[in-house]
Amino acid sequence: MITTAWDQIDAATLQALCDAGDEESPTLDFKREAPKKQMDDPDNEFAKDVCGFANANGGDLVYGIADDKGVAKCLMPLTGEPFDACRRRLTQVIDNHVEPRISGIRFRKVPVDENSYAMVVRVPSSFDGPHRFHVRRREGGPAHYRFVKRTQSLTDDMDYLQLRDAFGHTATLLEKARAWRVERLALMERGLLMRGLVAGPKLCVHLVPLAGFAHGAAIDIAEVYHRSDINFNGPGGFCPQKQTNLDGLLLMGPGSPPLGRADRLARLFRNGSMECLGKAFSVGDPREQAEPFIPAVAVTAEIRRVCAQLLEHARALGFVGPAIVGLAGIECGRHCFRIVNDNSHFPYGNGLADQEQLVLPEQIVESVATDVDVDVVVRPLLDAFWQCFGEVRCDRYDETGKWRPPA
C-alpha cells in the first residue's frame, strides 16, 4: 500500500515508485491500463482484484503504471475516458457484481499532465466478508461466483480453511476487542493505570477499532506524535502534554491547582485503540468541607464531546470497518449524581449508584471510516449511565432525540 498520505498522493509519488523499482506486494498492484468495460471483461478482473484485497489486508490498485514481472517501470497515464466517468463505471461494477457490499473503497485521481491521469483505488480490509464476485455466463460454462484472496502478489481462489476462517473473522475480532477493554477496566478497578490523575470518581471512554486486532495492524507512533490533528484536546481547546511510552502515546493534563494532579489523560495504543480517563466530580465550597459530587450535565456533555473526538481521530488515522465504543465509571458509586436543569440553579436527583464500578455495555459503530452521527452512538450510553443513578433516561435529549447543549 502506498505510504504517502492519501490526499497527498500525486504524480511525483507514483514516479518515485517507478524510480525505486517498487515491487507488487500483498497490498500493492500495478496496472498499465484502466479496467476494461464489462462487455470486454467476462472474467470480471476488476471485481476479482477488489475482492482479493478486501478478503485479505486491503491494498492499492494503481492504474497508469507499467510493470515488468511485478516491478514498477514507468508511468503510463490514462487517457480517453474521463476520471469521473471511469469511477462511476467501476463503482457500478462493485455494486452489481460484488457481495456482500464492501464499504470504504476510495478512488483518487492523480493528474499527470493536462490530458492524462493515473488512478489509485484503495480497498480496505473488510469485516463483512468473505466477499465474492460474479463471473458472467460464457459459452461452455454457467455463470458462477468466486471467493478470492490476495496472497503475496497474486490473487487466488480461497480454499476451505481460508473460507472457514473468513466467516468467523469479524466475530473473533469483536471478542478480542471486548476482551482488551475488559482487561483495561480490570486494571483500573485495582487502582492501576491512574498514576498522575487526581483522586476521586473518574469516567473512562474507550474506542477500539476492530481493524487494530487484524493481521497485526499497527499505527506509526512516531508519525502520529508530530500530527496536530491527533491531539485529544480537552474542554476549551486545551492541548495536553504529549509523550511516547510503551503503550504508544500518552497525553495528560491540565493539572488541578488545589490537588496538584492532572484532571484527564488519554492513551493512543499501537493497535489504534483509544482510552480517555477524566475526573467526573466537582467540589462545593471548600469552606463548608462539601463532599465531591458528580455534576450530571457537565459530565454528560464531556462524554459526548470525547466520543465525537475519538470517532474523528479514528477517521483521521485511516481506520475502516467496525469499532466498539464503551463507557465506564470508576469509583462512582459513593458520590451523588447532581442534576441542575437549564432553568434553575437548584439541583435535583442526588442519586447514588448501586455499584462502585459502572461498566456499561459498549456500542458498535459499523464503520469508523464514514461520518457517524455521534448521538446515535452516545445516547444509549448516556441513558444507561443516568439509569445507574436512578434516572429514567438522560435528559439532555429532547423528545425528538436532538441534543440540548447545556445553557
State how far the Cα of 46 lies from the Cα of 155, in Å rounded to an integer. Answer: 11
Average pLDDT over residues 13-19: 95
Residues 27 and 59 grouped into a single domain: yes
For residue 81, the tally of other CB atoms under 10 A from its CB is 12
Q: Residue 344 has what pLDDT?
A: 59
For the cut 60, the answer to whether the pLDDT of residue 41 exceeds it is yes
Residue 215 domain boundaries = 170-387
Q: Residue 118 has what pLDDT?
A: 96
State how far the Cα of 171 lies from the Cα of 94, in Å rounded to an integer. Answer: 25
The per-residue DSSP string of 22-72 comes to PBPBTTEEEESSPPPPGGG-TT-HHHHHHHHHHTTT-EEEEETEEEETTEE
**pLDDT band for position 37 (cuts 50, 70, 90):** confident
State how far the Cα of 281 lies from the Cα of 234, in Å rounded to an integer. Answer: 16
- What are all long-range contacts of 168-175, with beta carbons under 8 Å and residues at least 24 apart? 169/127, 169/129, 169/214, 170/127, 170/128, 170/210, 170/322, 173/127, 173/210, 173/213, 173/214, 174/210, 174/322, 174/324, 174/364
Q: What burial class does residue 152 get, using C-beta atoms within 10 Å of its C-beta: 0-12 exposed, 13-18 middle, 19+ buried?
A: exposed
From 146, 167, 188, give the residue that closes a domain: 167
State how far the Cα of 235 lies from the Cα of 302, in Å rounded to an integer. Answer: 8
Q: Which is nearest to 294 in space by CA: 370, 202, 380?
A: 202
Residues 379 and 238 grouped into a single domain: yes
Q: Residue 244 has what pLDDT?
A: 95
57/363: higher pLDDT: 363
Residues 211 and 323 grouped into a single domain: yes
**Is 383 part of a structural domain of the chain?**
yes
Residues with Cβ < 8 Å from 100, sequence gap 6 or more?
Answer: 128, 129, 131
Angle between helices 296-316 and 374-387 (to 10 degrees): 150
**pLDDT band for position 124 (cuts 50, 70, 90):** confident
**Is 397 part of a structural domain of the chain?**
no
**pLDDT band for position 112 (cuts 50, 70, 90):** very high
Average pLDDT over residues 221-246: 89
List the end-to-end C-alpha distance of the chain, in Å, as a whole number: 48
Q: Residue 25 has what pLDDT?
A: 93
Q: Residue 343 has what pLDDT?
A: 64
Q: Which residue has the cell 485529544?
A: 232
Average pLDDT over residues 90-107: 91
Residues 322 and 378 grouped into a single domain: yes
**Is 339 part of a structural domain of the chain?**
yes
**pLDDT band for position 57 (cuts 50, 70, 90):** confident
Q: Phi and psi at residue 27, in whole multiples of 5°? A: -125, 15
pLDDT (tens digit, 9 = 90+) per residue, 269-293? Answer: 999 999 999 999 887 655 555 678 8
**Is 73 part of a structural domain of the chain?**
yes
**Is 281 part of a structural domain of the chain?**
yes
Q: What burial class does residue 116 get, using C-beta atoms within 10 Å of its C-beta: 0-12 exposed, 13-18 middle, 19+ buried?
A: middle
Q: Residue 291 has what pLDDT?
A: 75
Q: Residue 256 has what pLDDT?
A: 55
Residues with Cβ < 8 Å from 2, sequence gap 6 or more?
Answer: 9, 13, 17, 28, 60, 62, 120
For residue 43, the tally of other CB atoms under 10 A from its CB is 13
Q: Residue 51 has what pLDDT?
A: 96
CATH of residue 22's domain is 3.30.950
Question: Which pTM does this prediction carry?
Answer: 0.74
Q: Which is nearest to 394 in space by CA: 337, 313, 309?
A: 337
* DSSP state at residue 190: T
State how far the Cα of 296 lies from the Cα of 395, in Å rounded to an integer. Answer: 10
State how far the Cα of 282 lies from the Cα of 259, in Å rounded to an integer. Answer: 12
**pLDDT band for position 140 (cuts 50, 70, 90):** low
For the cut 80, the answer to whether the pLDDT of residue 94 exceeds it is yes
Residues 153 and 274 grouped into a single domain: no
Residues 352 and 375 grouped into a single domain: yes
Average pLDDT over residues 359-378: 91
**Is 360 part of a structural domain of the chain?**
yes
Residues 153 and 233 grouped into a single domain: no
Q: Phi and psi at residue 266, in whole multiples of 5°? A: -135, 145
* DSSP state at residue 346: -
For the cut 80, the answer to whether the pLDDT of residue 87 exceeds it is yes
Residues with Cβ < 8 Å from 300, sequence gap 6 or more?
Answer: 382, 385, 386, 394, 396
For the cut 70, the answer to whether the pLDDT of residue 216 exceeds it is no
Q: What is the mean pLDDT of the chain?
A: 88
For the cut 70, the answer to whether the pLDDT of residue 255 exceeds it is no
Q: Which residue has the cell 458498535?
A: 364
For the cut 80, the answer to whether the pLDDT of residue 40 exceeds it is no
Residues 138 and 188 grouped into a single domain: no
**pLDDT band for position 110 (cuts 50, 70, 90):** very high
pLDDT (tens digit, 9 = 90+) per residue, 308-361? Answer: 999 999 988 888 788 999 999 998 888 889 887 766 566 676 788 988 899 999
**Is 250 part of a structural domain of the chain?**
yes
Residues 105 and 228 grouped into a single domain: no
Q: Which residue has the cell 503504471?
A: 65
Max mean pLDDT range (51-60, 129-138, 280-289): 51-60
From 133, 167, 201, give the residue that closes a domain: 167
**Is 406 part of a structural domain of the chain?**
no
Residues 128 and 12 grouped into a single domain: yes
Residues 34 and 101 grouped into a single domain: yes
Number of domains comprising the chain: 2
Q: Phi and psi at residue 95, in whole multiples of 5°? A: -65, -35
Residues 124 and 50 grouped into a single domain: yes
From 132, 167, 202, give the residue that closes a domain: 167
Angle between helices 83-97 and 45-54 (to 10 degrees): 70
Is-cis flag, bond preceding 254, omega within 30? yes
